[in-house]
Chain A
Amino acid sequence: AQSVTQLGSHVSVSEGALVLLRCNYSSSVPPYLFWYVQYPNQGLQLLLKYTTGATLVKGINGFEAEFKKSETSFHLTKPSAHMSDAAEYFCAVSVVPGGTSYGKLTFGQGTILTVHP
């Protein structure tokens, strides 16, 4: 079974400051890892994903995340926050292809990012 823990349900930063959203996962098999963003009254949009290969992955809007197997982490960062980054962010895990998971995702509880002027 897989699980995802996002540390901090709310994170507040100033515009221009570093954004760090934490995600730890538990999986008995090699995982695929995802970050999604949800703006108010919208569906979830993929920010970035890790499947195999390079452990530092870059996504849209200047975000990136690093897969650290030894720490079972996949933290999301952005060097300089923008007002438009204010949203809720979800970390998710799925198993590598095989079996009957068909890309089923297990989501964390979400982190609401607030950006102050």
Chain B
Amino acid sequence: DAGVIQSPRHEVTEMGQEVTLRCKPISGHNSLFWYRQTMMRGLELLIYFNNNVPIDDSGMPEDRFSAKMPNASFSTLKIQPSEPRDSAVYFCASNSYPDTQYFGPGTRLTVL
């Protein structure tokens, strides 16, 4: 299997622009997790889905952030409008509950 796939790997944008991060989980996995990693705050869970349904979005920092999972093989994390403090590495992970979570390579977002 190709593992968890994330795109783009790097994104540089200007403040105020919309940013969309994409994730393809491992085939057959039924749970998907979005994380954000920064030096200051470490690794934070933003939201997770089970069978395409959002279970807990309490980690989403504010209304500018939204996530969707329209089908079992695709999820997006959108930031609109983006701000410099959103600069971070965003990871997607998936698992076949209750098995181990497998992480993607991450998207490094820079908001100027």
What is A's interface to B at a CB cutoff of 8 Å? 32, 34, 36, 42-46, 49, 90, 96-97, 100, 102-107, 109-110
Residues of B within 8 A of A43 (CB): 4, 91, 93, 103-106
Does A107 lie within 8 Å of B43, measured CB to CB?
Answer: yes
Does A103 lie within 8 Å of B95, measured CB to CB?
Answer: yes
Does B45 lie within 8 Å of A103, measured CB to CB?
Answer: no
What is B's interface to A at a CB cutoff of 8 Å? 4, 31, 33, 42-43, 45, 48, 50, 55-56, 91, 93, 95, 97-106
Given A97-B97, A110-B42, A110-B43: A103 touches B104 (CB 8 Å cut-off)? no
Docked Cα-Cα span, A65 to B48, in Å, equals 28
Give the Cβ gap from B69 to chain A, nearest Cβ, in Å.
Answer: 13
Given A102-B55, A103-B31, A103-B95: A44 touches B45 (CB 8 Å cut-off)? no
Give the Cβ gap from A40 to chain B, nearest Cβ, in Å.
Answer: 11
Does B97 lie within 8 Å of A103, measured CB to CB?
Answer: yes
Q: A49-B100, A103-B95, A105-B101 are in contact. List 4 more A-B contacts (CB 8 A).
A: A32-B98, A42-B105, A43-B105, A103-B31
Docked Cα-Cα span, A100 to B48, in Å, equals 11
Does B48 lie within 8 Å of A102, measured CB to CB?
Answer: yes
Residues of A within 8 A of B42 (CB): 107, 109-110
Docked Cα-Cα span, A43 to B102, in Å, equals 9
Does A97 lie within 8 Å of B104, measured CB to CB?
Answer: no
Docked Cα-Cα span, A97 to B30, in Å, equals 14
Residues of A within 8 A of B33 (CB): 104-105
Does A44 lie within 8 Å of B103, measured CB to CB?
Answer: yes
